[in-house]
A and B are shown apart, each in its own frame.
Chain A
């Protein structure tokens, strides 16, 4: 046999699981991202006293697919003065970075493309922040003023908030003692507590910084619609634009996964070590079944027959998933799939909750201004994150070296961190008050030209 072919076969034999999982991620993420968009639009509509997408499929359930088709067949426009190669490459960079970092995420104990990377978390954080290059290059290559301002904002924002997020992750890692995804979750199992309860300030900092990192409101300055039209994406249209969009939502899933793994107990169900709460294992099946029942009840009320069938389809799919989740619990030979399946369920549920938090904030809050964003990052979040790392470390030393009760140590240090936060906020307020009095509010009345204007 040809040695090349042989080598290829060898390669496939060794890596086929990883390759297959990779394909699954590449295929599934756009679909999932599309439906995350749909969920976002629906939730936004609900909070804004309207219905949201209702036309394509029952309750707009096919909207993402219609959108994807529309974007695919759209005319592909590249501006004349754009740097064509970079313009073409930039969204690919953005998307690739997001998808690659997803490879190291463990969706439950069983589903992970790149197992056993000894620097798993570092890999995720590092690769996903490479996506910034896509934004900067895209903004530069578009040769448009809005794009370049968006790209520059994005650079400054990511550099600032990546620091804060990194320091927040460090406090989590101090508790976990490892960068390996499995080891981090295992540490939370062994400690009988999610790290959000041990390091709440770190979780808060990470939550804020990750919103800024994914360019979501109230930190969506790089693509601030009302100011920069669409920021770095202004000149993009059609599928290139969709790639950016997918990259952004994939990034949301990535930061959600990191937060879940590090602070929210990863794929562990609530109270994983408490045996009398083992009945919580039926919750995933009950939850999906409930969704199925809801869909079945709505099915009869659809205006068009096709929609009724579709709704029944969704309902039966939910029932099937519920069955898949429930049956192994009670059938002994199938017990081995329970951790993997249920782990994936709990993991995705937590990631979903985290993303829901993002959306909720987006619907509620106005947008920060650039200088405010920067001062929040550099004057409050980063110093607070440094103090927090120090405090978490101190608590661990107190516990291991001096035999303090862990909770006493953590509560004392967390109080100290919160005190620091208050102090920083106080300083910040004083600074802004000084700045505003310098720039405007008590401006000296200049001599008036009555014919001005």
Chain B
């Protein structure tokens, strides 16, 4: 009857079904396409098809000056643009052997931690939506809006902020930045409690997340998974603590870890990370050092020939930049290690043997952004 369909089906067992999830699908978080091999509703295998959002960001870098390329990295993980910018700016600074002044580093830390909260909020809302809880999304958006307002006040943009410059900051902090951040942080404690009330103790939520998509610590390390996924499996590895950058060495914060490495643990870890980010922000605004905001960098950036790898703890995991300079104003090569891309590899291992409904829960818990996966 349908020839091509039957032909494809001959590759499978008679009782298996291939379901193409995406690239247009409500919960593949963008344009991810997952081919699911199903036995009834049970997943027997998956294949991720990526690249629908490929823009050649790394290649573009080779034809832009160092400063010109900075806005492009905002478009990778577009829900955590500030973190992307921080990683890139610090990598170039390292390559040029300059340091951002202390004031710039503290403000960078504040904005990056706010961005982490915003990114986790978006994750929480969409993850809950994937599992069928409609309401948390809007509560999360409400709080995220407050953060975006702070970004807008600071640099004029909300999502693709381009907030930092190589060597420090372009803009001085506006007058009420501390007050705004403080007000947000004060409110936020109560807000997080709202999400906890809605989800944490809910037996359906627990049933849908506990024991789903288990990833052991060894698996995480073998697959290169990082960020909350790694920590939920019980590995206490956070670059903010392990290789401090920006101003993280000045602040006290805890690194939450899970035990089972299932979706519920990843949920708990991210919730706690939001609280910890809030604490970091509160500590940082208490004492923002005075001084210049831009280090000694010229108008034209010409790093010495050489190569550098710098990585930061982005909201989704380890974000690394590998930059090769040939001594000109444009990088010879930029290679980016996006956390989502690497974490996505764990999908197949996590979903095997689970049901279709768990696939969306697991895609949600991986917290991928396709702009970053495809670049």
In the assembled complex, the Cα of A229 lies from the Cα of B27 at a distance in Å of 9
Task: List chain B residues, Cβ under 8 A from A149.
Answer: 19, 41, 356
In the assembled complex, the Cα of A224 lies from the Cα of B27 at a distance in Å of 11
Q: Which of B219, B349, B360 contacts A226 (CB 8 A)?
A: B360
Q: Which of A431-453 contact B (CB under 8 A)?
A: 432, 436, 439-441, 443, 445, 448-453
In the assembled complex, the Cα of A221 lies from the Cα of B360 at a distance in Å of 13
In the assembled complex, the Cα of A449 lies from the Cα of B349 at a distance in Å of 13
Interface status of B90 (Cβ within 8 A of chain A): no
4 tightest A-B CB contacts, nearest first: A367-B132, A48-B138, A436-B211, A366-B133
A334: shortest Cβ distance to chain B, in Å? Answer: 46
Task: List chain A residues, Cβ under 8 A from B26.
Answer: 225-226, 229
Interface status of A356 (Cβ within 8 A of chain B): no
Q: Is the CB of A363 within 8 A of B207?
A: no
Interface status of A217 (Cβ within 8 A of chain B): yes
Q: Interface digits, A355-393 against B, CB 8 Å rule (1 contact, 0 not)?
A: 000000011111111111000000000000000000000
Determine which residue in B132, B216, B219 has the highest number of CB atoms from chain A within 10 A of its CB, and name it. B132
Q: Is the CB of B214 within 8 A of A441?
A: yes
Q: Is the CB of A44 within 8 A of B134?
A: yes
Q: Is the CB of B222 within 8 A of A449?
A: yes
Interface status of B149 (Cβ within 8 A of chain A): no
Q: Is the CB of B128 within 8 A of A366?
A: yes
Q: Which of A48, A220, A369, A448 contacts B207 (CB 8 A)?
A: A369
Q: Could you list 17 further interchain pairs (A-B, Cβ under 8 angstroms) beyond the known A217-B132, A440-B212? A: A48-B139, A49-B138, A217-B134, A218-B132, A218-B204, A226-B360, A365-B133, A366-B133, A367-B204, A368-B132, A369-B357, A370-B41, A436-B210, A436-B211, A445-B216, A449-B222, A452-B223
In the assembled complex, the Cα of A446 lies from the Cα of B223 at a distance in Å of 14
A437 nearest in chain B by CB position:
B211
Task: List chain B residues, Cβ under 8 A from A50.
Answer: 138
Q: Is the CB of B260 within 8 A of A441?
A: yes
Q: Interface digits, B172-209 against A, CB 8 Å rule (1 contact, 0 not)?
A: 00000000000000000000000000110010110110
Task: List chain A residues, Cβ under 8 A from B202.
Answer: 365-366
Q: What are 28 sample pairs from A and B whose C-beta atoms fall under 8 A apart?
A: A44-B134, A47-B135, A48-B134, A81-B2, A145-B17, A153-B41, A224-B132, A224-B357, A225-B26, A227-B27, A227-B359, A228-B356, A363-B135, A364-B198, A366-B208, A367-B204, A367-B357, A369-B357, A370-B355, A371-B355, A372-B204, A439-B353, A440-B214, A443-B214, A443-B216, A445-B218, A449-B222, A453-B222
Interface status of A146 (Cβ within 8 A of chain B): yes
B153: shortest Cβ distance to chain A, in Å? Answer: 22
Q: Is the CB of B19 within 8 A of A146?
A: yes
Contact A448 to B138, CB < 8 A, known contacts A227-B356, A366-B204:
no
Interface status of B130 (Cβ within 8 A of chain A): yes
Contact A365 to B204, CB < 8 A, known contacts A48-B138, A441-B260:
yes
Task: List chain A residues, Cβ under 8 A from B138.
Answer: 48-50
Q: Interface digits, B216-246 against A, CB 8 Å rule (1 contact, 0 not)?
A: 1011001110000000000000000000000
Q: Which of B136-172 contact A (CB under 8 A)?
A: 137-139, 142
Task: List chain B residues, Cβ under 8 A from A225.
Answer: 26
Interface status of B262 (Cβ within 8 A of chain A): yes
Q: Which of B20, B133, B219 contacts A448 (CB 8 A)?
A: B219
Q: Which of A271-289 contact B (CB under 8 A)?
A: none
Task: List chain A residues, Cβ under 8 A from B135.
Answer: 47-48, 363-364
Q: Which of B306-333 contact A (CB under 8 A)?
A: none
A435 nearest in chain B by CB position:
B211
Determine which residue in B223, B353, B356 has the highest number of CB atoms from chain A within 10 A of its CB, and name it. B356
Interface status of B131 (Cβ within 8 A of chain A): yes
Task: List chain A residues, Cβ under 8 A from B139.
Answer: 48-49
Interface status of B25 (Cβ within 8 A of chain A): yes
Q: Is the CB of B132 within 8 A of A220?
A: yes
Task: List chain A residues, Cβ under 8 A from B210.
Answer: 436, 441
Interface status of B345 (Cβ within 8 A of chain A): yes
Q: Is the CB of B204 within 8 A of A448?
A: no
In the assembled complex, the Cα of A352 lies from the Cα of B211 at a distance in Å of 39
Contact A453 to B223, CB < 8 A, known contacts A369-B208, A371-B355:
yes
Q: Is the CB of A366 within 8 A of B353?
A: no
Task: List chain B residues, Cβ under 8 A from A448.
Answer: 218-219, 222
